[in-house]
Amino acid sequence: MRRILTLIAAAALPALTLAASATAQDSHASFFSAIFQSAPAGAPAGRPRASAIPRETVRYTGRHRAGTIIVSTKERRLYLVNGDGTAIRYGVGVGRPGFAWGGSMPITRKAEWPGWTPPPQMLKRRPDLPRHMKGGPDNPMGARALYLGSSLFRIHGSNEPETIGQAVSSGCIRMTNDDVIDLYNRVRVGTRVVVER
């Protein structure tokens, strides 16, 4: 049995090394590289997530104050600015071509396991969608939602972690359920969200 486990671990090692290398290359290809850099040794970092994009703490030298959420749609990352020269970086899914947007809005509402009512514009494009879906693990809004201003946009969880890092939504910012719960617990209503295109 010990020999079998050793063989399995040895076979998995190249794949893990490749994944770590791909994540590192992706994190350096960013227009935020001037203000967000890898945190110094000893800085707190998140444990591995369901997403292929790990949550991590990075340096922040930008102009936004502590507590601000910054979304880079180009980079497909969300940053929560801390007050100590760092930010927490999360992988996100963003709006697909034609649905990307930018601007600044406050969080006006928070919800746990939110229900989902597709807006009329979406139902016009997709008449097959349900008119309403109760919250739960099968709901596309995921475990938590942060409502942005009076818009139809949300930062929300997803039951499709493979879409994180992709441009696939109708404008909402998607996170893994694990990451959106973490963000939800760190922010409050009134938090400023800046979406950079």
119: in domain: yes
Q: Given this model, what pLDDT does residue 49 score?
A: 40
11: exposed, middle or buried (C-beta count within 10 Å: 0-12, 13-18, 19+)?
exposed
Q: Is 132 a catalytic residue?
A: no
10: in domain: no
124: in domain: yes
Per-residue pLDDT of the chain (197 residues; tens, 9 = 90+): 444 333 333 433 333 333 333 333 333 333 344 444 444 333 333 333 456 799 999 999 999 999 999 999 999 999 999 989 999 999 999 999 999 899 999 999 999 999 989 888 889 989 998 899 999 988 999 999 999 999 999 999 998 999 999 999 999 999 999 999 999 999 999 999 999 98
Distance CA 181, CA 58 (A): 20
16: in domain: no
Residue 64: name the closest of 163, 195, 194 by CA. 194
Q: Given this model, what pLDDT does residue 15 score?
A: 34
Does residue 94 contact residue 169 with C-beta atoms inside 8 Å? yes
14: in domain: no
Domain extent, residue 67, equals: 31-191
157: exposed, middle or buried (C-beta count within 10 Å: 0-12, 13-18, 19+)?
buried
C-alpha atoms less than 13 angstroms from C-alpha of 58 in its C-beta half-sphere: 24
Q: What is the dihedral of CA 20, 94, 184, 189, to 10 degrees?
A: 150
Q: Given this model, what pLDDT does residue 51 score?
A: 61
Q: Given this model, what pLDDT does residue 196 score?
A: 95
25: in domain: no
Residue 187: name the closest of 49, 52, 80 by CA. 80
Backbone angles phi, psi at 137, to 5 degrees: -60, -25
13: in domain: no
Q: Given this model, what pLDDT does residue 4 score?
A: 39
What CATH code is carried by the domain that includes residue 185? 2.40.440.10
Structurally, the chain folds into a number of domains equal to 1
Only one residue has tokens 């959420």, namely: 69
Distance CA 184, CA 156 (A): 9
Q: Which runs of E-coded beta strand occur in 49-188?
A: 56-60, 69-72, 77-81, 86-91, 94-95, 103-112, 144-148, 154-156, 167-169, 173-174
85: in domain: yes
